[in-house]
Amino acid sequence: MDGNNKNGIHYEVVDKIFYRSSPSLELTALSYRLEDSVFVDENGEQLSDHYPVTVTFQYMKNQDITMSNYWGGSGGTAFNFLSNNATINHRPTALTINAGDRLDGISMTYENGAVLSQGGTGGGVETLVLENDEYLTEATFYKNKYNGDDRIFYAEFQTNSGKVISGGTKTGEAITLSAPSEHYIAGFFGRSGDNIDQIGVFSKRLAH
């Protein structure tokens, strides 16, 4: 410990703040302190037997990666293709959709052979193989209610050369997500179980 300096670098407390950056956002902790004079009652007494911990962060966005809004419900388990290095270092070479009444599953194949998949395997299967100079530029998703929550019922993708792949049922509300100029759709994030409950896309800048 550093004597009476509660914020000294060697002062250890049980309450901590953990953080991590991602490929799209870099976090840097600028300051740390134990708040010994803020969270008090009308008599100036601490509200807890632990001082609250605060950290000031600086963040920096990766200008090569763009995240879309998400679309859908709150069911399933969260996923993010961006957590795999394949999406950062390699272009997609194929997109596969499993769909019937709803969007059951979705997967992307990358140049290094990695295959990232989410959702179930029900419904029919459609695969779009991308040519060397071809990439995904636009995605349209329909959401509607199923068992009391939103699910993704339909997905449609278009490439820079005009090819289209789609699956599911066009019902409910729709959203179209487009990669910015000089970017391509590199992967997905959202929530899934046996179906795709929620989905968004992230785009990466084209290398020249």
Distances (CA, A) of 21 to 86, 123, 160: 17, 37, 31
In 3D space, the residue among 43, 40, 66 whose CA is nearest the CA of residue 51 turns out to be 40
Torsion sign across C-alpha atoms 8, 9, 13, 17: positive
Over residues 14-55, the pLDDT tens digits come to 888 999 999 999 999 998 888 888 888 888 888 888 888 899
For the chain, domain boundaries: 1-62, 65-205
The pair of structure tokens assigned to 141 is 């998703």
Matching CATH number, 65-205, of 2.40.30.30, 2.100.10.30, 2.60.120.380, 2.70.160.11 = 2.100.10.30
Percent of residues, the chain, with pLDDT higher than 90: 77
Whether the predicted pLDDT of 10 surpasses 70 = no
pLDDT computed for residue 1 by the predictor: 44
Q: Which of 40-49, 99-108, 149-158 has the lowest mean pLDDT?
A: 40-49
Mean pLDDT computed over every residue of the chain: 92
Task: Tell me the one-letter amino acid at 120.
Answer: G
Distance (Å, whole) CA 101 – CA 144: 11
At 4, the pLDDT band (50, 70, 90 cuts) reads low
CA dihedral (145, 150, 154, 155) in degrees, to 10, reads 170
Q: 172 phi and psi, to 5 degrees?
A: 90, -145
Distance (Å, whole) CA 42 – CA 88: 53
Over residues 53-91, the pLDDT tens digits come to 899 999 999 999 999 999 999 999 999 999 998 999 999
Q: 114 phi and psi, to 5 degrees?
A: -65, 140
The residue ranges of DSSP E strands in the chain, in sequence order, are: 25-34, 53-61, 65-67, 71-72, 77-80, 92-99, 103-110, 115-119, 124-129, 136-146, 149-159, 164-168, 173-178, 183-192, 196-205
Q: 129 phi and psi, to 5 degrees?
A: -90, 125
Percent of residues, the chain, with pLDDT higher than 70: 94
pLDDT computed for residue 95 by the predictor: 98
At 9, the pLDDT band (50, 70, 90 cuts) reads low
Site of tokens 């046996």: 194
Over residues 131-142, the pLDDT tens digits come to 999 999 999 999
Assign 158 to helix, strand or coil: strand
